[in-house]
Structure formats: C-alpha cells, structure tokens
Amino acid sequence: MSHPVFSWKQGAFLADFHVHSHYSRATSPDMHPDVLNRVARQKGLSVIGTGDFTHPGYLKELKETLEPEGTGLYVCRDDPEGTKFILSSEISNIFTQGGKNRRIHTVFLAPDLEVVEEIQRRLAAIGNITSDGRPIFGFPVKELVRIIMDVSPDCFVIPAHIWTPWFSLFGAKSGFDSLEECFEEQSEHIFALETGLSSDPQMNWRLSALDRYTLVSNSDAHSPSRLGREANCLSCRPTYEAIVSAIKDPAKGFEGTIEFFPQEGKYYCDGHRACGVCMHPRETIEHGGRCPVCGRGLTVGVLHRIEELADRPEGFVPKTARPCVHLIPLEEIIAEALGVRSITGKVKKEYLRLIQIGGPEMGILLWKSEEELRQFVPDRILEGIRRMRKGKVHISPGHDGVYGKVSLFSREENLPGYGSRGRQEDAVQLDLF
Ligand SMILES: [Zn+2]
Ligand SMILES: [Zn+2]
C-alpha cells in the first residue's frame, strides 16, 4: 500500500519552487545548480526553482551551468535529462504602510533569462541587488509586484510562507490582516499562497478568504538536503506556461502538496525561545499574552494567528481543497530508526544505499508498497515509514524560532541512550526565514 491519502496520477511530477543559492545569507556553500540538480534527482523532484535570480553573480552562474529547454524551463548542460529548473527568486520588502512597519517576503517566477535581466536592471536602479541573494527593498511590496509584472505579465507572484510571524503577509509581527490591504490594486496578480513549514492546507482551510487561492508548498531550502521537504504535485506538461496555468487553475493539473508536519515548523506554537516557554494559543490567552518566565510579550505563532483570522471551525474542508500528505525526510526516519540524534555518516550511508536500490526518496516515502520496500529496507526503518504514512507520530511543537521535534518511536521503543530525535545541528543556523 502506498501513502493512503494519495493516488497520484500517472505522469505526475513533483516541483519545489522556493530555493536559495549560496548567495543568500545563512545558506550552505553547496547551493550551486549542479549540486541542486543531483540532489533533486535523488529526492525525486522533477522541477526546482533556481532561487535568487535577482543576484547578478548567480545569474552569471546560471547562464554558465544551464541551458534553455525551449519550454521556459532550464536544464544543466552536463545533464540534459536531469532536473528542470524554473527561474525563481525570493525578495524581502521592509516598509511602512497603514502606519505600521511591514516585512513581507515574496517569491517570483520568471519565464526566461531575458526577463530576469530586465528585472535586475530595474531593481538595481532603485536598490541593492548584489549584497544578498534575497535582496531587501524599502518600498511597499505592491510596488515590487507592479514593477515585475510590468517587465513581463508572464511573471508569477507567490506571497511566501504567509504565516511566519516576522516576514510574511499575515505574520503576527509585521503582516496584514488581509491580502487586499497589502497588495491593494496589485491583488489581481495573486493566485497562489505559500503555506510555509509551520502551516498546512488544513489550517488554511479555516479562512474562507483564502478559498480562491491555490495553496502551494515549497522547501525554502538553504542547504541541499532540505530540498523537497515541502513540494507540489502537478500533472500538467512540464513547461513554464503549463505550470503557471495549473497553479492559477488547479483543474489544469495542480494535484496537491507534500507537507511538513506543521507542528515541526519553527513558529507553530507561541513561546519564548530563551525562556524555554512553549504555549498553545489557549494558554497564551490565559496568561494575557505574557511570558510566565520573563513577563515580556510572547512571540505569537502560526496556530494563534490563524485562530485570530479564521472564520471556520477546525476540521472544515472547503470544496476547493486539494489533497496533501505529511512526510518526514528519509534521512530523519533512518536516524531515529538507527537510534542516533542527527544525520551522521552512518545515516547518510544507509540513505544512499536505500535510494541506490529503490530510489528516488519520494518513491520510498510515498509510492512503493510495503512488499516492495521489504525487499531492501531494514525492519525498523520500514516500521518508521509505515508510521509516518499513517500519521502515527509524536510531536513536540516548534515555537519562537525553535523547530518542533517529531518522533516515530516511543521512549520505550527507542534504542538505549537515545532521547527524542533532534533536528540536524545546523538547522537553526541554516534555516533563518
Ligand atoms: Zn520570556
Ligand atoms: Zn522568506
């Protein structure tokens, strides 16, 4: 039996649009197109974003490494049968609107390198595009949408990780209460919203105002191993135009999404990282929004913020809903099954062995039957995959920038000397939003 939620169509493929290059702050030095191509193949992603197309140094690198396929997508010159790249970039706007400070991140897709060059020309005239792969501008995000859509109406806009407190459309710290309030007359260009790691479609279904947007999921990877930890399943032709059409109108081939367990995200619950305080929104309200340790205001997480804006009860499923599955990266399942706390050499070795025999990774996590898996997957890892597919996981939720922790095995089942499974040590450092 494959994953119970999904029977994805024949010919469907996975795409991850939000990725960063080594030019973005706090990213791995390995974030080059050739490495991304190789890792995406291991994972089973057919299409990935280039990330950082606003950066002139990276654009040069993309031109050297990639060649056009004639479909609006690009492939590595050295591996034309490999992963297809879609030109993408994330941009940060920090500005004042409606008397408040706002910080909004937005992902853009572009149809070809000429359009990207023109976007760079226009943005370079009004800000700094060389200091960071994810540039920061001091004008309203609606202005940015106007500029980019003016360069080419074929560009596509996706507000990024819309619930994270610090840098997003609906963020508790510096966001808005509605999309129209933020984008005003540019709202007509918005067809999709990125749910981010700390929220899943189920949480977003509680806002009727979001029904008309396609909920997309991307990894926002800052290092190669994070690629595809969230992704989109499409069944359209793999061309720029068909992909954008399918996101605009899911009936044209947007099948659903792959999700993190949202509790694992760094801003799921409310809390204070330094005080070791993590609270459910109910408890936060009981405490008057104050931290019981230091007395200052708690960082309000995604769950709380959704609760504030929701007009539907938990569990509501709108007609427009697309299926989604919650996955745990295979390396993390292996680590817990082997009883180690992080992704060690032993884990990586087993990961490579498994994907060499039965890869790509997404096939192992999602599609292969238990009988097929039993041929090459050790019992304890197989049990981990089985539990993940059934959603039988234990999660201590993330809060105030600390990742949540998911466990597949109970304390009694764990091997001696093993506590709850932790994220990779580099997680906090490498995955700043
Ligand atoms: Zn505190
Ligand atoms: Zn971001």
Instruction: Report pLDDT digits (tens) over 366-388.
Output: 989 999 999 999 999 999 999 99
Determine the distance separating the centroid of ligand 1 and the alpha carbon of 301, expressed in angstroms. 14
Please answer whether residues 315 and 200 qualify as being in contact, where contact means their C-beta atoms are separated by less than 8 angstroms. no
pLDDT value for 424 = 34
pLDDT value for 411 = 74
Residues 170, 136, 273: CA angle, nearest 5 degrees: 55
Task: Check whether residue 113 and residue 197 sit in a common domain.
Answer: yes
Determine the distance separating the centroid of ligand 2 and the alpha carbon of 220, expressed in angstroms. 7
First to last CA, the chain: 36
pLDDT value for 240 = 98
Model confidence at 412, pLDDT cuts 50, 70, 90, reads: confident
pLDDT value for 6 = 56
Q: Please tell me the pTM assigned to this model.
A: 0.91
Determine the distance separating the centroid of ligand 2 and the alpha carbon of 430, expressed in angstroms. 13
Determine the distance separating the centroid of ligand 1 and the alpha carbon of 347, expressed in angstroms. 36
Say what the alpha-carbon torsion angle 284, 287, 291, 293 is, to the nearest 10 degrees: -130
**Distances in Å between the alpha carbon of 14 and those of 9, 18, 116, 369, 428?**
12, 13, 24, 19, 26
Determine the distance separating the centroid of ligand 2 and the alpha carbon of 185, expressed in angstroms. 23
Q: Mean pLDDT over residues 252-264, rounded?
A: 94
**Of the ligands numbered here, which is closest to the C-alpha atom of 25?**
2
Contacts of 135 (CB under 8 A, 6+ apart): 54, 55, 91, 92, 123, 127, 128, 129
Q: Mean pLDDT over residues 61-87, rounded?
A: 97
Model confidence at 171, pLDDT cuts 50, 70, 90, reads: very high
Determine the distance separating the centroid of ligand 1 and the alpha carbon of 268, expressed in angstroms. 17
Determine the distance separating the centroid of ligand 1 and the alpha carbon of 279, expressed in angstroms. 11
Determine the distance separating the centroid of ligand 1 and the alpha carbon of 411, expressed in angstroms. 29
Task: Check whether residue 350 and residue 226 sit in a common domain.
Answer: no
pLDDT value for 433 = 26
Task: Check whether residue 89 and residue 205 sit in a common domain.
Answer: yes
pLDDT value for 419 = 45
CA-wise closest residue to 100 among 203, 172, 207: 172
Task: Check whether residue 206 and residue 62 sit in a common domain.
Answer: yes
- Whether residue 317 is contained in a domain is answered as no
- Domain boundary among the residues 212, 238, 264 is at 264
CA-wise closest residue to 26 among 110, 100, 133, 124: 133
Residue 22 has pLDDT above 90, yes or no: yes
Determine the distance separating the centroid of ligand 2 and the alpha carbon of 250, expressed in angstroms. 24
Number of structural domains in the chain: 2
**Distances in Å between the alpha carbon of 121 and those of 26, 125, 126?**
26, 7, 9
**Of the ligands numbered here, which is closest to the C-alpha atom of 134?**
2
146 residue type, one letter: R
- Whether residue 229 is contained in a domain is answered as yes
Query: How far is 347 from 165, CA to CA, in rounded Å?
Result: 33
Determine the distance separating the centroid of ligand 1 and the alpha carbon of 285, expressed in angstroms. 15
Please answer whether residues 161 and 168 qualify as being in contact, where contact means their C-beta atoms are separated by less than 8 angstroms. yes
Task: Check whether residue 145 and residue 238 sit in a common domain.
Answer: yes
pLDDT value for 415 = 61
Determine the distance separating the centroid of ligand 2 and the alpha carbon of 196, expressed in angstroms. 9
198-236 pLDDT, tens digit per residue, is: 899 999 999 999 999 999 999 999 999 999 999 999 999
**Of the ligands numbered here, which is closest to the C-alpha atom of 298?**
1
Domain that holds residue 362: 330-430
Query: How far is 415 from 429, CA to CA, in rounded Å?
Result: 28
pLDDT value for 3 = 57
**Distances in Å between the alpha carbon of 182 and those of 130, 134, 348, 356, 365?**
27, 20, 44, 47, 38
- Whether residue 49 is contained in a domain is answered as yes
pLDDT value for 421 = 42
Determine the distance separating the centroid of ligand 1 and the alpha carbon of 158, expressed in angstroms. 34
Query: How far is 107 from 94, CA to CA, in rounded Å?
Result: 15
110-129 pLDDT, tens digit per residue, is: 999 999 999 999 999 999 99
Query: How far is 200 from 5, CA to CA, in rounded Å?
Result: 15
pLDDT value for 11 = 77
Residue 147, SS3 per DSSP: helix
pLDDT value for 2 = 52
Q: Which residues surround ligand 2, an ion (CB under 5 A)?
A: 105, 160, 433
**Of the ligands numbered here, which is closest to the C-alpha atom of 432?**
2
pLDDT value for 1 = 44
Q: Please, what is the average pLDDT of the chain?
A: 92
- Domain boundary among the residues 264, 280, 314 is at 264
273 residue type, one letter: R
pLDDT value for 8 = 63
**Of the ligands numbered here, which is closest to the C-alpha atom of 274?**
1
Task: Check whether residue 227 and residue 117 sit in a common domain.
Answer: yes
